[in-house]
């Protein structure tokens, strides 16, 4: 089967985490750039990637890459794209997005979208020997990206972003994305036997993603994808990929009675939302949620006999609060509880993602940090390690 180059999108700073996922799925790795990992596979890998990737936002096929500095150059090169490999004569093809960096001459998203659409219309009319394209069946969303005058045309196989797992119907203000939460967990030494505590759990994303990782539940196996209707991908490929993903679930860990994942939040309404979300994700039996202020979580009865593990959380950091002065007491309370939790030879590492500039002033000097982007917000993952 013909080889395909996939472009896998992720949050800036998490490319290495995504690379590890790709390797585990058995695909050959290609070039890695900011927020993108390329992988080499076949059409049969489209369902596998979409079902199983936890840290990628989107799975796209690289159609063509070429230089374009004027509209005619973009038009003529786009005409050479063999989109008929995927788009049938009656397929609905859209140019859903165009991004241009500041170093590219063709800077108008709208103009670039129109030019590529025109090129595709002309090509398909010629290839299919028709004067009319009905665009009445399926959806084939293309994206255009310019980087230093190099145009990359991609076909999106995912549709709605992969962070939309389907379990989080309700959430709080500015919740962390599921894909980012999964990546943060993978940046720690969390495993199926490890304790994990989130003292600012909100709608439960971090504990739920941890439970799914611990039991190896595929993150997106129950949702739909735009490419499921494409003729070019056999229905059997989707069926087999779904069967394979479900067969890898660790039923023993899923049904274990010892709870090792905990989510606390000061807002009882958020705890109820988190519990409902966990039920939809089929991991409610793996997580203990409870209403608790951050200053008190170290003394909660449910964790009093636990001796080591991980604290991983996404506390408020100003962008989510009108008054940034309210953030300082929160970080002071977190430091107090963390120190209290690690008394009596307990060893809990702590990992905090935040853009609060004075975080380490109140949490103390970190063991290490990693720069990440939560959407457009530059953040840091501060790690405090006991060993």
Within this chain, do residues 32 and 116 fall inside the same structural domain, yes or no? yes
Q: Residue 197, CB half-sphere, CA atoms under 13 Å: how many?
A: 26
Distance, in Å, from the CA atom of 76 to the CA atom of 181, rounded to the nearest integer, reads 42
Tokens coding 30: 């290609």
Q: Which residues contact 240 (CB under 8 A, 6 or more apart)?
A: 47
User: What is the pTM (predicted TM-score) of this model?
Assistant: 0.95
328 and 316 Cβ atoms separated by less than 8 Å: no
The whole-angstrom distance between residue 358's C-alpha and the CA centroid of its chain comes to: 27
Within this chain, do residues 109 and 247 fall inside the same structural domain, yes or no? no
Q: At what angle do helices 178-186 and 15-24 cross, to 10 degrees?
A: 80
For 61, the domain range is: 4-156
- Structural domain total, the chain: 2
Domain assignment present for residue 161? The answer is no
158 — phi, psi (to 5°)? Answer: -95, -50
Domain assignment present for residue 24? The answer is yes
Within this chain, do residues 207 and 314 fall inside the same structural domain, yes or no? yes
228 and 171 Cβ atoms separated by less than 8 Å: no
Of the candidates 49, 5, 54, 11, the residue with the CA atom closest to the CA atom of residue 31? 5
Domain assignment present for residue 225? The answer is no
Domain assignment present for residue 329? The answer is yes
Distance, in Å, from the CA atom of 289 to the CA atom of 172, rounded to the nearest integer, reads 15
23 and 50 Cβ atoms separated by less than 8 Å: no
Domain assignment present for residue 168? The answer is no
Domain assignment present for residue 224? The answer is no
CB atoms within 10 A of CB 385: 13
Of the candidates 42, 14, 33, the residue with the CA atom closest to the CA atom of residue 232? 42
Q: What is the pLDDT of residue 310?
A: 97
Q: What is the pLDDT of residue 318?
A: 65
The model's pLDDT over 294-335, given as tens digits with 9 standing for 90+, comes to 999 999 999 999 988 999 999 987 655 446 678 999 999 999
Q: What is the pLDDT of residue 35?
A: 95
Distance, in Å, from the CA atom of 25 to the CA atom of 37, rounded to the nearest integer, reads 14
> If DSSP codes are grouped into helix, strand and coil, which group holds residue 126?
helix
Domain assignment present for residue 169? The answer is no
Domain assignment present for residue 162? The answer is no
Q: What is the pLDDT of residue 374?
A: 82
Chunked into runs of 10 residues, the chain (387 residues) has average pLDDT values of 95 96 97 97 98 98 98 98 98 96 96 98 98 96 98 98 92 84 97 96 97 97 96 96 97 92 97 97 97 96 93 82 76 96 90 93 95 88 92
Distance, in Å, from the CA atom of 63 to the CA atom of 154, rounded to the nearest integer, reads 5
Within this chain, do residues 29 and 117 fall inside the same structural domain, yes or no? yes
> If DSSP codes are grouped into helix, strand and coil, which group holds residue 12?
coil
Q: What is the pLDDT of residue 323?
A: 60
Within this chain, do residues 206 and 125 fall inside the same structural domain, yes or no? no
Task: Give residue for tokens 């896998």.
Answer: 8
Q: How far is CA 325 from CA 36, 322, 331, in A?
A: 36, 9, 11
What's the CATH number where 22 sits?
A: 3.30.2130.30
Q: What is the pLDDT of residue 170?
A: 74
Strand partners, 28: 40
Answer with the one of 103, 126, 156 that is the final residue of a domain: 156
15 and 32 Cβ atoms separated by less than 8 Å: yes
213 and 312 Cβ atoms separated by less than 8 Å: no
What's the CATH number where 375 sits?
A: 3.40.50.150
Q: What is the pLDDT of residue 357?
A: 87
């Amino acid at each position: 089967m013909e080889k395909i180059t996939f472009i896998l999108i992720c949050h800036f700073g998490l490319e290495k985490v995504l690379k590890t996922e790709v390797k585990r799925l058995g695909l050959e790795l290609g070039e890695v750039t900011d927020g993108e990992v390329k992988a080499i596979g076949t059409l049969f890998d489209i369902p596998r990637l979409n079902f199983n990737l936890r840290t990628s936002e989107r799975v796209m096929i690289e159609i063509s890459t070429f230089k374009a500095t004027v509209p005619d150059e973009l038009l003529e090169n786009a005409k050479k794209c063999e989109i008929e490999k995927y788009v049938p004569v009656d397929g609905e093809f859209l140019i859903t997005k165009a991004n241009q960096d500041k170093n590219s001459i063709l800077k108008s998203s709208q103009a670039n979208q129109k030019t590529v659409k025109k090129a595709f219309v002309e090509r398909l009319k010629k290839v299919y020997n028709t004067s009319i394209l009905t665009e009445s069946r399926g959806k084939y969303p293309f994206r255009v990206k310019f980087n230093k005058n190099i145009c990359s045309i991609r076909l999106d196989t995912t549709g709605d972003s992969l962070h939309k797992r389907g379990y989080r119907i309700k959430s709080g203000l500015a919740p962390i994305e599921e894909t980012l939460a999964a990546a943060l967990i993978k940046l720690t030494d969390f495993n199926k036997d490890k304790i994990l505590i989130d003292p600012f759990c909100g709608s439960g994303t971090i504990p739920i993603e941890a439970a799914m990782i611990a039991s190896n539940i595929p993150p997106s196996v129950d949702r739909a994808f735009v490419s499921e209707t494409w003729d070019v991908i056999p229905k059997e490929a989707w069926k087999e990929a779904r069967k394979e993903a479900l067969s890898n679930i660790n039923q023993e860990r899923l049904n274990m009675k010892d709870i090792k994942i905990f989510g606390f939040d000061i807002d009882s309404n958020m705890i109820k939302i988190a519990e409902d979300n966990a039920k939809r994700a089929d991991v409610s039996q793996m997580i203990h949620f409870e209403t608790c202020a951050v200053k008190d979580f170290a003394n909660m009865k449910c964790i009093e006999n636990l001796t080591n593990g991980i604290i991983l959380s996404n506390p408020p950091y100003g962008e989510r609060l009108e008054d940034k002065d309210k953030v300082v007491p929160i970080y002071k309370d977190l430091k107090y509880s963390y120190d209290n939790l690690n008394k009596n030879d307990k060893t809990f590492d702590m990992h905090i993602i935040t853009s609060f500039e004075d975080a380490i002033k109140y949490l103390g000097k970190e063991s290490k940090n990693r720069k990440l982007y939560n959407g457009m917000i530059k953040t840091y993952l501060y790690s405090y390690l006991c060993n």
